[in-house]
Structure 1
Amino acid sequence: MLAPFLIMLREGLEAALIVGIIAGYLRQTGRGAWLPAVWIGIFLAVALSLFAGAALQLVSAGFPQKAQELFEAVIGFLAVGVLMGMVFWMRRAARSIKVHLHAGIDEALAEPGRGATWALIGMVFLATAREGLESVFFLLAIFQQSPDAMAPLGALLGVLLAAVAGWGIYAGMLRIDLRRFFRWTGVLVIFVAAGLLAGSVKALHEAGLWNGLQGIVYDLGRVLPETGPLGTVLSGLFGYRDAPTLGEVAVYLIFLAGALWLFLRPVSSSPAGARAPANKSLSDV
């Protein structure tokens, strides 16, 4: 439950931050009449995400057992790639996201006639559909690999809390140190990604495509079973396995060490002149 909650809270806040910046800029510049176009873009993005998730579920349901295991592995690998792209994109773009969105709005509304409406809808759609499609891959991978029956509820709670927080930020009633939030949730997301990667290696073995390094490193099934209350939490959040193979442990540790090192190392400093406005981009929404 905690892993989907964390990921959907983070994804939801990213989407809410983007929408809040766009809506706030339109309101501040006296262009509030364009807000319906923002909602249309959001609606289309949500519809696309739901359609993509349902289509993937329907397609995979007809696969034989080994093909389903392969599908689980592929979805897991894709989810890890998208997770890492999300984490590092926000780490890099946090300093300038507000400036870029404002420039994009001005450019979209400079289009003649109805072109401005479609340009704004397209801008909002692309910005929010990215978050929605990322969420589809995350949730599919987690639901397939996690034994936690409460995972869908965790995802729903994450989305709801993100929506409330996003509205609070937009309305000026809530102030969050978003840079710190995205940094530390990024660390937790890397642990989730490491667990998904190890689970995908296991799925490859069950699909008959990976048979190396299958020795059991340890067996804690009687002490801390993966399907128990604590084991379920550890499995969803940190990728815990009660009897992992050598290949799963090796992939988990190598990926975790490399990703944490890349993520936590200092960001290259930008020129002083560009740093001042960028420092306000995540908090001054």
Structure 2
Amino acid sequence: MSAAFLITLREGLEIAIVLAILVGYLVKTNRRDQLRAVWLGAGVAVVVCLIAGLIVNALTDGLTGKAEQAVEGTLALSAALVLTYMILWMRRNARSMGGHLRSQVDGAQTAGALAVVAFVGVAREGFETVLFLLGAETGGSSGAQVVLGGLLGLTVSAVVGVLIYLGGARINLQKFFRYTGIVLILFAAGLVGKAVHEFRELLGFENGWLIDPMWTVTSGVFASGAVHDFLKGLFGWSPSPERIRFIAYFAYAIPVMWLFLRPAPAPTTPPVDTVPLNDT
């Protein structure tokens, strides 16, 4: 649930920022008559992403044996790779996102073109969210926990997005994306470990030093219960991980965390760390 909440909170806020930029710029440039196109494009994107998520979930639900191992391993690895790209892309391009969207609005002279801009902006984040939530489910969270955490995250992000646009709240986006990025890298590391575990079982590797457990916890809060479930869902914790899973976790986490936390090049323009974005 915690992983689903964090994922949808971050992705939902990114969607809110995209819409705030589009709507704010249309209002600022006296194109209020085209606001409906933005909401139409965003609404269609949400529906398409929901349908895609339901279809994929229906196709993968109930799989057993090698089919389950192959699908869960592929979903976990795919989610980790896309999540990594998204985190590092946002680190590099967050400052220029507003200008890029406003230039797209300037180039969209018709309502249909503007709807496409909104659709693409929302659909990109929506499809990422669907993939990440499927990855969270394969990572150990139950379907009910993923749905509940996802709904809570989207609700909070929607409220914050409205407050940001109306000027009732300001948020340091640089710090928000930095701190959530750190946690999501650890979440992605858990997905990599999960993928290695599933592919190892799929290929039938059952013996050897790499398959022996790194440790074994048989009792206490780290073996079962709320703390165990929290750590498993968010960080990929296992009370008895194979050595290869442990190695894969840190082989991913250490270099990606370094890439994310290393000092960024000095900006050529003053940074904009806070919103509302409709004032820019």
TM-score range, shorter chain: over 0.9
**Aligned match of 1:180 in 175, 178, 198?**
175
Return 140-149 or 191-200, whichever deviates more.
140-149
Q: TM-score with structure 1 length normalisation?
A: 0.91
Which whole-Å CA distance do the structure 1 matches of 2:149 and 2:233 have between them? 11
Q: Which runs of 4+ in 1 moved over 6 A?
A: none
3-state DSSP of counterpart to 2:21: helix
Within a 5 Å distance, the mapping from 1:107-122 to structure 2 comes to 107-109=107-109, 116-122=110-116
Alpha carbons of 1:210 and 1:26: their partners in 2 closer, same or farther (altered >3 Å)?
Answer: farther
Q: Which letter does structure 2 place at the counterpart of 1:222?
A: S
1:56 paired residue number: 56
**Long gaps (5+) in structure 1:** 110-115
Quote the RMSD (CA, aligned, Å): 1.6
Q: TM-score with structure 2 length normalisation?
A: 0.93
- 1:214 aligned to 2:208? no
1:74 paired residue number: 74
3-state DSSP of counterpart to 2:238: coil
Give the C-alpha shift of residue 154 in structure 1.
1.2
The answer on whether the counterparts of 1:72 and 1:200 sit within 8 Å (CA) in structure 2 is yes
3-state DSSP of counterpart to 1:153: helix
Alpha carbons of 1:230 and 1:59: their partners in 2 closer, same or farther (altered >3 Å)?
Answer: same
Within a 5 Å distance, the mapping from 1:194-213 to structure 2 comes to 194-208=189-203, 211=206, 213=210
2:234 paired residue number: 237
The answer on whether the counterparts of 2:139 and 2:236 sit within 8 Å (CA) in structure 1 is no
- 1:159 aligned to 2:151? no
User: Taking every aligned residue pair, what percent have the same amino acid on both sides?
Assistant: 37
Alpha carbons of 1:223 and 1:22: their partners in 2 closer, same or farther (altered >3 Å)?
Answer: same
Alignment deviations for residues 234-272 of structure 1 (CA, whole Å, 9 cap, x no partner): 11122111100001100001111111100000112233x
3-state DSSP of counterpart to 1:232: helix
Which whole-Å CA distance do the structure 1 matches of 2:211 and 2:170 have between them? 49
2:244 paired residue number: 247
**Long gaps (5+) in structure 2:** none
Which whole-Å CA distance do the structure 2 matches of 1:224 and 1:61 have between them? 30
3-state DSSP of counterpart to 2:217: coil
**Aligned match of 1:141 in 135, 141, 147?**
135
Q: Which letter does structure 1 place at the counterpart of 2:36?
A: P
Return 4-13 or 234-243, whichever deviates more.
234-243
1:189 paired residue number: 184
3-state DSSP of counterpart to 1:95: helix
Q: Which letter does structure 2 place at the counterpart of 1:162?
A: S
Give the C-alpha shift of residue 284 in structure 1.
4.2
The answer on whether the counterparts of 1:7 and 1:158 sit within 8 Å (CA) in structure 2 is yes
Which whole-Å CA distance do the structure 2 matches of 1:108 and 1:281 have between them? 27
